[in-house]
């Protein structure tokens, strides 16, 4: 039985496992905990985690522990993580023909227009059907390329029925010029359906280039402000109260208002959908990379708990077992999220014109761009332990540990937590360096 080998009762274990603010002072003296386990309980219960959207699984997990059933507790955590991964996000992209809908759908998904998964683009390719384009790395996030309202000849209300508006989390209405009557009617109808909409003024790179060519005293900020204000005024005149307009170039998402668009969407989405949006965003600024890292970090306690609850394998020099297979899967997610896989880096080199070798040269982690295997990870962990970066044993033995399972649970939890955090930090740093190199922001290096 799970608690049979513990020197404290299930109730005490759960008190530590689930209390909102565990404190050493408040623990009964006859149940002295090892420092490691104290850390385990603190991290598990006390971390500020804005991404927790399925706390009921976690409650069920605690219940399973109460029933002396670690396998069921682990299954509940798995279920929670699986649900997190599959939270659907459906984004409708609409606007008049030629406005740049399909290009936007491709750019946000980090896909070249020539890619076989790309939405067809060009002067003569007209989007005629409602077409879903799942994100290549996060298929739960789907961008829907919609035919322009003018293309269908439906009035706004019938148009919304035609495209199946219920399934969309929000609408992006794109125009390459001032917004027209059709855009406004559509927005008003979307509002009636109690859905959100955002205006994207596309091809802003064109305007900037034109202005640069024609004006002696060219000022990019002034030009952008003028275009933004003009769009807002036109929309207000036609009856949209406080239109949210974002100036975007699908060829240069890191410039202009795309970051602002992401921030706004993130702010206005329900909490449990924020992560789905974040992971689907390309790494176009430092803030997005930082937020992805925080979101990954917030999940580590669950993986560490899983590792502690299931039988892992011993790693040389680590004096505890960890679930290496699970860790491999998690690290692969980090590589994808940060674009530190081979194909993402190739594509980044292609789209920025910075040679692949130059991007490769700023990467320091031994795991970036690798095919992650259990073997590779095991070697790396052994290396980390021998360099003294990870002192699980020493820290554990400095304190009076509880005997038996509790110690192994706490050590496994702590080891997994520390290893994943260490790897995540390194990969996030690599992602920042690659981003800076790609955009030529690394002059000081
Ligand atoms: N310079 C520039 N050109 C863009 C941008 N977005 C789209 N384009 C170009 O505009 C043209 C039309 O883009 P599409 O993405 O096919 O437009 P669409 O709204 O899907 O068009 P339809 O499917 O015909 O309704 C293409 O030649 C794109 O390359 C942009 O941000 N900047
Ligand atoms: Mg199109």
Reading the chain (445 residues) residue by residue, the pLDDT tens digits are 344 333 333 444 444 444 343 443 444 433 333 444 444 454 454 444 444 444 687 778 877 877 778 788 889 999 999 999 999 999 999 999 999 999 999 999 999 988 999 999 988 878 889 999 999 999 999 999 999 998 888 999 999 999 999 999 999 999 999 999 999 999 999 999 999 999 999 999 999 999 999 988 999 999 999 999 999 999 999 999 999 999 999 999 999 999 999 999 999 999 999 999 999 999 999 999 999 999 999 999 899 888 888 877 777 777 677 899 999 999 999 999 999 999 999 999 988 899 999 999 999 999 999 999 999 999 999 888 888 766 655 444 333 344 445 556 677 888 898 899 999 999 999 999 999 999 987 644 3
Q: What does pTM read for this prediction?
A: 0.86
Looking at the CA of 100, which ligand is closest? 1
Name the closest-CA residue to atom 3, ligand 1: 203
Mutate to test the pocket of ligand 1, among 121, 131, 174, 183 (most ligand atoms within 8 A of CB): 121
pLDDT reported for residue 29: 35
Could you identify the atom of ligand 1 that is nearest to the CA of residue 145? 20
User: What residues does CATH 3.40.50.300 cover in the chain?
Assistant: 89-280
Q: Tell the CATH topology of 89-280.
A: Rossmann fold (3.40.50)
322 and 415 in contact (C-beta within 8 Å)? Answer: yes
pLDDT reported for residue 384: 85
Angle 103-104-108 (CA atoms, 0-180°, nearest 5)?
Answer: 120
Distance CA 242, CA 239 (A): 9
9: left (phi over 0), alpha (psi -120 to 50) or beta: beta
Residue list, ligand 1 pocket, CB within 6 Å: 95, 97-103, 121-123, 125-127, 148, 202-203, 205-206, 249-251
431 and 409 in contact (C-beta within 8 Å)? Answer: no
Q: Give the sign of the dihedral formed by CA 72, CA 75, CA 77, CA 83.
A: negative
> What is the three-class DSSP state of 131?
strand
pLDDT reported for residue 408: 63
pLDDT reported for residue 47: 43
Name the closest-CA residue to atom 1, ligand 1: 203
pLDDT reported for residue 316: 75
pLDDT reported for residue 19: 39
């Amino acid at each position: 039985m799970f608690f049979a080998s513990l020197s404290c009762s299930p109730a005490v274990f759960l008190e530590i496992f689930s209390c909102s603010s565990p404190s050493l002072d408040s623990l009964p003296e006859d149940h002295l905990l090892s420092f490691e386990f104290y850390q385990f309980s603190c991290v598990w219960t006390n971390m500020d985690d804005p991404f927790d959207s399925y706390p009921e699984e976690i409650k069920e997990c605690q219940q399973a522990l109460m029933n002396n059933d670690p396998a069921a507790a682990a299954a509940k955590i798995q279920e929670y993580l699986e649900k997190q991964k599959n939270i659907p996000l459906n984004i409708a992209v609409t606007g008049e023909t030629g406005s740049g809908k399909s290009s936007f759908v491709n750019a946000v998904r980090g896909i070249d227009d020539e890619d076989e998964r790309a939405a067809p683009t060009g002067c003569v390719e007209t989007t005629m059907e409602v077409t879903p384009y799942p994100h290549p790395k996060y298929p739960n996030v789907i961008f829907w390329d919609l035919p322009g309202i003018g293309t269908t000849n439906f009035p706004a209300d019938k148009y919304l029925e035609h495209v199946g508006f219920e399934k969309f989390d929000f609408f992006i209405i794109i125009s390459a010029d001032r917004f027209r009557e059709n855009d406004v009617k559509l927005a008003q109808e979307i509002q009636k359906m109690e859905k959100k909409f955002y205006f994207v003024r596309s091809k802003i790179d064109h305007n900037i280039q034109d202005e640069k060519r024609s004006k002696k005293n060219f000022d990019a900020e002034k030009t952008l402000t003028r275009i933004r204000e003009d769009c807002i005024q036109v929309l207000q005149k036609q009856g949209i109260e406080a239109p949210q307009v974002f100036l975007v170039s699908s060829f240069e998402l890191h410039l202009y208002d795309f970051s602002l668009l992401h921030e706004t969407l993130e702010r206005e989405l329900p909490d449990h959908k924020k992560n789905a949006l974040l992971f689907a965003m390309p790494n176009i600024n430092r803030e997005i990379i930082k937020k992805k890292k925080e979101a990954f970090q917030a999940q580590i306690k669950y993986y560490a708990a899983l590792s502690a609850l299931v039988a892992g394998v011993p790693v040389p020099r680590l004096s505890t077992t960890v679930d290496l297979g699970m860790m491999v899967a998690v690290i692969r997610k980090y590589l994808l999220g940060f674009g530190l896989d081979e194909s993402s880096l190739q594509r980044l080199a292609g789209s920025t014109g910075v040679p692949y070798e130059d991007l490769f040269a700023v990467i320091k982690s031994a795991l970036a761009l690798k095919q992650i295997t259990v073997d590779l990870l095991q070697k790396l962990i052994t290396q980390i332990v021998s360099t003294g970066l990870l002192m699980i044993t020493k820290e554990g033995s400095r304190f009076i540990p509880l005997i038996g399972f509790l110690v192994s649970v706490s050590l496994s939890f702590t080891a997994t937590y520390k290893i994943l955090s260490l790897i995540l930090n390194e990969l996030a740093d690599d992602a920042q360096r690659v981003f800076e190199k790609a955009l030529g922001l690394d002059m000081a290096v």
